[in-house]
Amino acid sequence: MKHYDGLALFSGGLDSILASRLLMEQGLAIKCLHFHSPFFGSPARIAHWQEIYGLDIDGVDVSEEYVEMLRRGPAHGFGSAMNPCVDCKILMMRRAKALLAEYGASFIASGEVLGQRPMSQRRDTLNIIRRDADVRGILLRPLCAQHLDPTEPELSGLVDRSRLLGFNGRGRKDQLALAEKFGIGEIPTPGGGCKLTEKENTRRFWPVLRKMAAPDANDFRLADTGRQFWHGPYWLCIGRHQKDNEDFRALVRGGDLTFKVIGFPGPLAIGRSTAEWTAEEISLAASLAASYSPKARQAFEGGAEIFVSVASNGQMERIRVCPSRESPFLEPTWEDARDELYALRKPGAKSN
């Protein structure tokens, strides 16, 4: 295996591109690590990024350890939504440190810029991340290095500190100028790319974290697909289009119920729960799923009987339903998640 001088955290954003290229300009061999989970990352784009940015990139799946961090409750709390930004950076730094020997590398690089993000890129927070990830001395932040203490690769002469930069604050003018200098034509749009920062996604993910006994990556991928409904411990996901239906088939697992209206085009639905499904709850879920088949609903209004197949663990039954959206299964709201998250931000509150 080729040996590298450093490992760079690579999100696909402009700062991570520039940090990597800045080090490569010094003749350093840099391996970029693209971390991904149900909440962030685009491993399918790695080949494209390598081609257009001239980088050497490996994907690193941190799904299960990331979900475990959420289950425990992030030590440094959530941000404006369900985003554990500080703990996220610590997790990735720790994983990168664990990979140093595998790549023959001696330091870690990050595209962080002092003062750019209010939660995770203040000076005090940058120091906390460095301390808690146990990467003091080997974590290099090339874009703002002139504002920070020298690191081991700089002190040893491996990295020329004089060629590192002193970016600061939230503006992108300096980054865009550097991108032009490097001949980078495809500029990524600004933003973190993390679904946990968005209210729409938080309302989907939060009930999974709070209501499932031990949620895993599959649970969160399911929560990110289709329409979401909850009724106590009962969780129903209904496809919106053919792609959702295809994705559901890959996500269904033992113990799940699948619902499909018979004789009419309509969505696939998955039922998942921490409690035993009763006949009543199954009927309610099937009726709601059938209501999202316009042709089935129209036929029912014309007097036809509507049936839904309900399958689980290789067994299937056929039940008659009245397609209806008047249901105790309700879509989760951002407001409910927001109120619970706000309570967790109070001193002494526990997130698990």
pLDDT digits (tens, 9 = 90+) for 109-159: 999 998 776 556 688 889 999 999 999 999 999 999 999 999 999 999 999
Which residues on adjacent β-strands are paired with residue 35?
60
Tell me the Ramachandran region of residue 303: left when phi exceeds 0, alpha when psi lies from -120 to 50, beta otherwise.
left
pLDDT at 117: 64
**Residue found by looking up tokens 């920070």 in the block:** 148
Yes or no: say if 130 and 86 are a contact pair by the CB < 8 Å rule: no
**Average pLDDT over the chain, rounded to whole?**
94
- Supply the pTM of this predicted model: 0.91
Tell me how crowded residue 201 is: count the other CB atoms within 10 A of its CB: 21
**Under 8 Å CB-to-CB from 148, ≥6 apart: which residues?**
114, 126, 141
Tell me how crowded residue 271 is: count the other CB atoms within 10 A of its CB: 25
| Strand 107-109 versus strand 6-9 pairing type | parallel
Q: Read off the tokens for 32.
A: 């970029």
pLDDT at 352: 45
pLDDT digits (tens, 9 = 90+) for 55-98: 999 999 999 999 999 999 999 999 889 999 999 999 999 999 99
- Measured CA to CA, the distance from residue 130 to residue 137 in angstroms comes to 9
123-127, long-range: CB within 8 Å, 24+ apart, which pairs? Answer: 125/86
Three-state secondary structure call for residue 134:
coil
pLDDT digits (tens, 9 = 90+) for 306-341: 999 999 999 999 999 999 999 999 999 999 999 999
pLDDT at 300: 97
Maximum C-alpha span of the chain: 82
- Measured CA to CA, the distance from residue 153 to residue 145 in angstroms comes to 12
- Taken in order of first residue, the domains within the chain and their CATH numbers are 6-195 (3.40.50.620), 198-334 (no CATH)
- Measured CA to CA, the distance from residue 8 to residue 340 in angstroms comes to 36
CA distances from 3 to 11, 96, 104 (A): 22, 15, 5
* Residue 343 CB-density burial (10 A; 0-12 exposed, 13-18 middle, 19+ buried): exposed
Residue 346's pLDDT band (cuts 50, 70, 90): low
pLDDT at 80: 87
- Measured CA to CA, the distance from residue 45 to residue 59 in angstroms comes to 10
pLDDT at 349 over 70: no
Q: Read off the tokens for 229.
A: 């409904």
pLDDT at 118: 57
